[in-house]
Amino acid sequence: MIQSRGDATMSAVRSGLDILRDPLRNKGTAFSEHERDKWGLHGLLPPVIASLDEQVARRLQAYRNFPNDFDRYVFLRGLQDSNEILFYALLSRHLEEMLPVVYTPTVGLGCQSFSEHFWKPRGIFLSYPHKDRMVEILSSPRFDDVEVIVVTDGERVLGLGDQGAGGMGISIGKLALYTACGGINPAKTLPLFLDVGTDNPERLADPLYVGWRHERVRGEEYDAFIEAFVEAVRQRWPNALLQWEDFARHNATRLLDKYRDRLCTFNDDVQGTAVVAAGTLLATGNVTGIPIKDQKIVVLGAGGAGCGISALLLRAMIEDGLSEAEARSRFYLVDRNGLLVEGMPELLPFQEPFVQPRDVAGQWQLDRAGFVGLADVVRNVRPTTLIGVSGQPGGFPEQVVRDMASGVERPVIFPLSNPNSRAEATPADILAWTDGRAVVGVGSPFPPAPVGDRLKRIDQTNNSYVFPGIGLGAMSVKARRISDGMLMAAARALASVSPTSSDKDGNLLPPVNELRQVSLRVAEAVARQAIAEGLASATTDDLNLTIENNMWHPGYASI
What residues are annotated to the active site? 103, 174
The span from the CA of 325 to the CA of 327, in Å, is: 5
DSSP secondary-structure letter at 480?
S
Backbone dihedral angles phi then psi of residue 20, each to the nearest 5 degrees: -65, -30
Instruction: Let me know how long the chain is.
Output: 559
User: How far from 200 is each of 70, 211, 357, CA to CA, in Å?
Assistant: 22, 12, 39
Cβ–Cβ under 8 Å, residues 211 and 169: no
Contacts of 21 (CB under 8 A, 6+ apart): none
Q: List beta partners, residue 388.
A: 300, 415
**415 forms bridges with which residues in the sheet?**
388
User: How far is the C-alpha of 507 from the C-alpha of 204, rounded, in Å?
Assistant: 45
Separation between Cα atoms, residue 145 and residue 237, nearest integer Å: 9
d(CA 220, CA 165): 21
- Phi then psi for 193, rounded to 5 degrees? -120, 125
Helix axes 467-476, 515-532, angle to 10 degrees: 50
Distance, CA of 475 to CA of 239 (rounded, Å): 8
Give the count of beta carbons closer than 10 Å to the beta carbon of residue 404: 27
Among 278, 239, 270, residue whose Cα is nearest residue 254: 270
Nearest Cα to 145, choosing from 89, 189, 86?
189
Strand partners, 266: 243
Q: Are strands 148-152 and 124-127 parallel, antiparallel or unpaired?
A: unpaired
Nearest to residue 417, comparing CAs of 448, 446, 451, 392? 392
| CA–CA separation, 276 and 267 (whole Å) | 13
